[in-house]
Structure formats: structure tokens, C-alpha cells
Amino acid sequence: MLVAGGRVIDPAHGIDEVADVLIENGKVAAVGGEATATARAGKTERFEAAGLVVCPGLIDVHAHLREPGHTAKETIATGAAAAARGGFTSIVCMPNTTPAIDNSGTVALIQDRAEKVGKVNVFIAGAITRNIAGEELAPIGSLKRAGVVAITDDGHCVQNNDLMRRAMEYARMFDLPVMDHCQDYSLVSDGVVHEGYWSAALGLRGWPASGEETIVSRNIMLAELTGTHVHCQHLSSARSVELLRAAKKRGLPVSGEACPHHFVLTDMALAGSERYWAGDGREWRGGEAERPRWPAYDTHFKMNPPLRTAGDREALLEGLADGTVDIISSDHAPHCEYEKEVEFDYAPFGIVGFETELPLALMQLHHPGRMPLRDVIAKFTANPARLLRLPNKGHLGVGADGDVTVFDPDVEWTFDLTKSASKSRNSPFAGWALKGRATATIVAGRIVKN
Ligand SMILES: [Zn+2]
């Protein structure tokens, strides 16, 4: 396949120019003049990308596909379809399925299903502890041999610091990055929203930022002690970003990710749309007519970690811009409608994210001029590939896997949740006017976007 005439942005190779990309036998065969020359006229499938951005296939390092065990929420097939629609060619599924991904059998089952679906590359994160219970280590070596790309207890957090240390020592022996959902249970207790003004005003139990920061600090200290790479997942607080920045300055093997909901929204959204658009949301693009409405206590704004303040949101954007936060992920977390249609305290945490992730990132980082487009793309491509040690992903060098995302950074559209490819509908961004969208998702030289 020849992806012709697009603006090719390949952050890993410092390329940003109009060029052709030739994919042969599932691999990148050539970029630029050589691609144009080698493409056999009439025999090579062409995708016209003039006026569009062509970049390495986007990678989402944090997704919940719910299979096995919770297929009413999502399946590998529907999750992969939603990922493809959002422009993602590779996703990493979290191990908090039922059963948990804490053994090689479950890894093999998911690999088998993902291969049958054949849509996007599904990489697997194994559990740190057996059954994600935080009590004894999962068989990390056999998980690695089965093919996991990282370990995490995501959804949960290993509270025992010594156990976390041992996990990191094992992970180092097997050259696996450790990813962590940073949450101190004693501090967070049964908190449901950010502890601050709005938790008090709305009478909801608080989830203090220190509940995240304590574990981010712990992880940094253990990274120093063990030399193992620790990746802090879905960072939400200003102080977490500050801690990570200081740790990186000291050369420690740490990285972090942020999700669009945390760098677009704030906890003021819990007071309803009217309050939000007049307050923390007032700088969002568009006029009245373009701004959707929602009530106070809307459970689609309930996530873990919770939405925080405008100051935290700003710190995340700064951290992304200065390179402290390496990766953008969705934390795609599907839940059935009936599960979210309950009192705020009882609703599950999390939202779907694949289809809104790229436009929200472009709108907060690229369009306002906060970051060059190339650097935004790196957070979806080169950086996650480096974290996961995937040398053939995240760039368009000759011989790399033929995964390419083609997107229009400027197209305006409205997110119609009813038409989502995901099985679930739990998004706070229903009806939002967005800018930027994937045009084609190409996996190993085949268009998979639906
Ligand atoms: Zn999590």
C-alpha cells in the first residue's frame, strides 16, 4: 500500500514533510522519493492522504477490554473496533479482567481472541499480584514468557511497599516495565471525587490528591532502590507532576502518563454544565450552542483518579508540554448504562475514551499552540513504544511494522456517542464539538478503521 501525498510526521526520526509511505508485506518499505518510485504502478493499493497528517500508528498503553469476564461492557472485538476508529493501531489491555491476567493461560486466551478479531494489535499487561489482590506476587517470569509487555495491578494498587519492591526486582530481571495505578487506600478510603471545594459543596466523599502523590513518591523511591523502570499511570495532580519532574532531573528510571479527561475537565463539572461553562470550562472553544448540557452529580464525570482542580489541569498540560509527562493514554473503561445510572456513590469509576482521545489532545495541546504537533504525536507513538520496548512500533523507519495513522487535525465534528463502536456509552463527551479526527487506521498495511 502507498499512503500518498500526506504530511508525514515521524517524531522518532525527526521527519515532518510531505511524502509518500510505502508498506509492503506488512512492513514499512520506504518513505519519500523512494516510496513513490518503488510503488508499482497499478499494482500497489493507494491511499490518498493529501492535506492529512500521516504518522506512525498510535499506541494506547492503558485500556480495559473487559474480556474475559465482563463482556456485557466490552469485548476484545468491540474494544478493538473502537480503538481503530479512534486512530489506534496498538492498545495495551489491563489485567483486571475475570479471571485476572495473572497467569499464562489467560494471556494465551486473549492473544488468541485478539488474533481472531484481527483488527488492531492487542498487547497485554500482566498483573503484579495474584488475582490483583496485593498479597502475593503473580508468576512474573511466566507472564513475560507468555508475552506480556508490562505488569500492573491497575484498578488496584499494591499497598505493601516491600511486595512492590520485590515485584520491581523481578520485573528488572525479566526486563519488564512496571506500571502503577497510584492510590494509597488509607488516604483515599471510600472517596469518590477530588477532596476540595466541590466535594464539600456537593456533599460527596473526598479522594485527596495526596492519596495519589504518596504512591508516586513511593514509586520514585523504589525506582531508585531497584533500578527498575516505573511508569505512573493516569496522573491527575499537580504535585504528582512536580514529583515526576524532580525524579527525572535526578536521572531516575520513571515516566508518567495523562488522560484527556484529566487535562480537559475539572471537578467543577460535577456541579453541572451551567456552573462548569461559566467557570473552569469558559475557555473551551465554541459558543453556547456548541456546549452540551449535563446535570450535577452526573456519574459520567466519575473516574479514578478523580477530576481535580483547574490548577491540576494546568499542571498536567505543562507537564505534557515540557516532557515530564511522556505519554497520553485513554484509560478506556467501559461500563454498562445501568451501572452508571445509580446514585453517584454507587456508580463505577471510569469512562470510554478511544474515540475522543486524539481530538481532545489536539485541542488542548496542538491547536492552542502549547506544543508542536510532532511532540503531541510522540506521546502516542515513539514514547509508548520506548516504554513497552517495542522496537518495530511507534516509528516509520524502513522495516518497522506497517502501522500508520492518517488523521485530519483540523476537521470539526460532533461526537455522537450513540454511534460509538464501543459496546458501552459511558462518556462525558457526548455531543461535544471536537476538532481533529482519524481518517484511516492502517495495521500491517491494511485499513482497519470502520
Ligand atoms: Zn487505573
Give CA–CA dist 440/313, Å, rounded: 30
Q: Give yes or no: 331 in active site.
A: yes
Residue 264's pLDDT band, with cuts at 50, 70 and 90, is very high
Give the Å distance between the CA of 181 and the centre of ligand 1: 5
Buried b (16+ CB within 10 A) or exposed e, 100-116: bbbbbebbebbbebbee
Buried b (16+ CB within 10 A) or exposed e, 123-146: bbbbbbbebbebeebbbbeebbeb
Mean pLDDT across 101-109: 97
For residue 14, what pLDDT band results from cuts at 50, 70 and 90? very high
Q: How far is the CA of 234 from the centre of ligand 1 (A)?
A: 7
Kindly state the average pLDDT of the residues 370-384. 98
Q: Measured in angstroms, how far is the CA atom of residue 284 from the centroid of ligand 1?
A: 26
The whole-angstrom separation of Cα 424 and Cα 430 is 12
Look at residue 38 in the predicted model and tell me its pLDDT: 86
Per residue in 333-348, pLDDT (tens digit) is 999 999 999 999 999 9
What is the pLDDT, as a whole number, of residue 288? 74
Is 43 a residue whose pLDDT tops 90?
no
CA distances to 183, 184, 210, 286 from 191, rounded to whole Å, are 11, 11, 12, 34
Per residue in 309-329, pLDDT (tens digit) is: 999 999 999 999 999 999 999
Mean pLDDT of the region 381-386: 98
Helix (H, G, I), strand (E, B) or coil at 266: coil
- How confident is the model over 169-174, as a mean pLDDT? 97
> What is the 263 CA–ligand 1 centroid distance (Å)?
16
Among 283, 278, 305, CA closest to 293: 278
Cα–Cα distance between 393 and 59 in angstroms, integer?
9
Residues 278-289, mean pLDDT to the nearest whole number: 87
Average pLDDT of every residue of the chain: 96
pLDDT (0 to 100) of residue 36: 87
Q: Residue 22's pLDDT is what?
A: 97
Let me know if 33 is exposed, middle or buried by CB neighbors in 10 A (0-12, 13-18, 19+).
exposed
pLDDT band for 40, please (50, 70, 90 cuts): confident
Which grid coordinates belong to 282? 469558559
Segment 50-79 mean pLDDT: 96
> Tell me, what's the pLDDT at 290?
81
Average pLDDT on 384-395 reads 98
Active-site hit among 102, 331, 375, 403: 331
> Residue 232 and residue 212: Cα distance in Å, rounded?
10
Mean pLDDT of 244-254: 98
Beta carbons of 178 and 201 less than 8 angstroms apart: no
Confidence at residue 285, expressed as pLDDT on a 0 to 100 scale: 83
Amino acid 9: pLDDT: 98
What does the pLDDT read at residue 39?
83
> What's the pLDDT score for residue 123?
98
Of 71, 257, 235, 246, the C-alpha closest to 150 is 257
Band (387; pLDDT cuts 50, 70, 90): very high
C-alpha cell at 226: 531497584
C-alpha cell at 15: 521527519
Among 138, 213, 146, CA closest to 178: 138
414-446 pLDDT tens trace = 999 999 999 999 999 999 999 999 999 999 999
* DSSP one-letter code for 94: -
- Reference 365, options 411, 402, 302, 317; nearest CA is 317
pLDDT tens digits, one per residue of 188-210: 999 999 999 999 999 999 999 99
Q: Can you tell me the mean pLDDT for 357-373? A: 97
User: Ligand 1 centre and the CA of 154: distance in Å?
Assistant: 5
Ligand 1 centroid to 133 CA: how many Å? Answer: 15
What's residue 137's pLDDT?
98
Q: How confident is the model at residue 253 (pLDDT cuts 50, 70, 90)?
A: very high
Phi, psi angles (nearest 5°) of residue 229? -70, 130
- Centre a 10 Å sphere on the Cβ of residue 314 and count the other Cβ atoms it contains: 14
Is the pLDDT at 357 greater than 90, yes or no? yes
Confidence of residue 42 (pLDDT cuts 50, 70, 90): confident
Ion ligand 1 nearby residues (CB, 5 A): 154, 181
Q: Is residue 448's pLDDT more than 90?
A: yes
Confidence of residue 287 (pLDDT cuts 50, 70, 90): confident
> Which strand (E) or helix (H) includes residue 8?
strand 2-10
Distances in whole angstroms, Cα of residue 334 to Cα of each of 181, 308, 328, 416, 436: 17, 21, 18, 16, 23
CA–centroid distance, 235 to ligand 1, in Å, is: 9
pLDDT of 41 reads 72
Tell how far the Cα of 314 is from the centroid of ligand 1, in angstroms: 21
Minimum mean pLDDT among 13-17, 43-47, 128-132, 303-307: which range?
A: 43-47
pLDDT higher than 80, residue 299: yes
Q: Which pLDDT score, from 0 to 100, does residue 365 have?
A: 98
DSSP 317-370: HHHHHTTSS-EE---B----HHHHSS-GGGSPS----HHHHHHHHIIIIITTTS
CA distance 89 to 304: 25
